[in-house]
């Protein structure tokens, strides 16, 4: 199943900006929605519906999947969803060194605005 939720730091984030995460869940009654955690200073947030947190992605963080109650058989479950979306500030985008796609062009090409023509103040 991969490394879902394994603790990590987002080394590509800009130290001057924060990440934001929100959770949207549609879980059966009795299911634990799981947790999001920041290892230091030991913050654990229950990922109930509409839970949101703003944090530095440079700190080690991770999460757990939703957890079925002891008497449930997840194999027979027809629906259970937790959707999390994360807005994060990559260093290139926030430092002025990112190229931006301005428009789609014919033959699957892109019209790129290079960083040297973007005015930064």
- Indicate if 84 and 101 belong to the same structural domain: no
Residues 29 and 84 in one domain: yes
If asked whether residues 14 and 43 sit together in one domain, one would say yes
Find the domain containing 116 and state its range: 91-121
Higher pLDDT, 4 or 21: 21
The whole-model pTM stands at 0.68
Q: Is the pLDDT of residue 102 over 60?
A: yes
The pLDDT value recorded for residue 117 is 66
Domain identity same for 9 and 60:
yes
Are 64 and 8 within one domain?
A: yes
Please compute the mean of the pLDDT values over residues 60-87 and round it to a whole number: 85
- Cross-strand pairs, 32: 67
**Is pLDDT larger for residue 4 or for residue 40?**
40
**Residues 81 and 97 both lie in one domain:** no
Q: How far apart are the C-alpha atoms of 8 and 88, rounded to whole Å?
A: 14
The answer, yes or no, to whether residue 86 has pLDDT greater than 80, is: yes
Q: What is the mean pLDDT of residues 35-53?
A: 92
Q: How confident is the model at residue 23 (pLDDT cuts 50, 70, 90)?
A: very high
Please check whether residues 2 and 25 belong to one and the same domain. yes
pLDDT, residue 116, reads 67
Closest CA to 19 of 65, 58, 75: 58
Residue with the two structure tokens 């924060």: 18
Pair 84, 95 in one domain: no
Tokens of 89: 């500030």
Q: Per-residue DSSP letters for 22-89?
A: EEEEE--TT-B--EEEETTTTEEEE--TT-EEEE-TTS-EEE---B--TT--GGG-S--EEEEEEE--
Number of domains in the chain: 2
Are both 49 and 81 inside the same structural domain? yes
52 and 12 in a single domain? The answer is yes
In this predicted structure, the answer to whether residue 119 has a pLDDT above a threshold of 70 is no
Confidence label for 91 from pLDDT (cuts 50, 70 and 90): confident
Residues 4 and 62 occupy one common structural domain: yes
Pairwise CA distance, residues 43 & 18, whole Å: 16
Note whether 67 and 98 are same-domain residues.
Answer: no
């Amino acid at each position: 199943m991969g490394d879902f939720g394994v603790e990590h730091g987002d080394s590509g984030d800009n130290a001057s900006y924060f990440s934001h995460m929100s959770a949207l869940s549609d879980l059966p009654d009795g299911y634990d929605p799981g947790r999001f955690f920041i290892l230091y200073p030991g913050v654990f947030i229950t990922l109930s519906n509409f839970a949101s947190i703003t944090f530095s992605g440079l700190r080690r963080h991770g999460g757990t999947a939703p957890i079925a109650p002891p008497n449930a058989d997840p194999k027979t479950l027809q629906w259970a969803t937790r959707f999390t979306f994360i807005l994060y500030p990559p260093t290139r985008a926030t430092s002025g060194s990112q190229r931006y796609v301005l428009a789609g062009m014919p033959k699957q090409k892109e019209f790129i605005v290079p960083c040297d023509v973007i005015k930064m103040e």
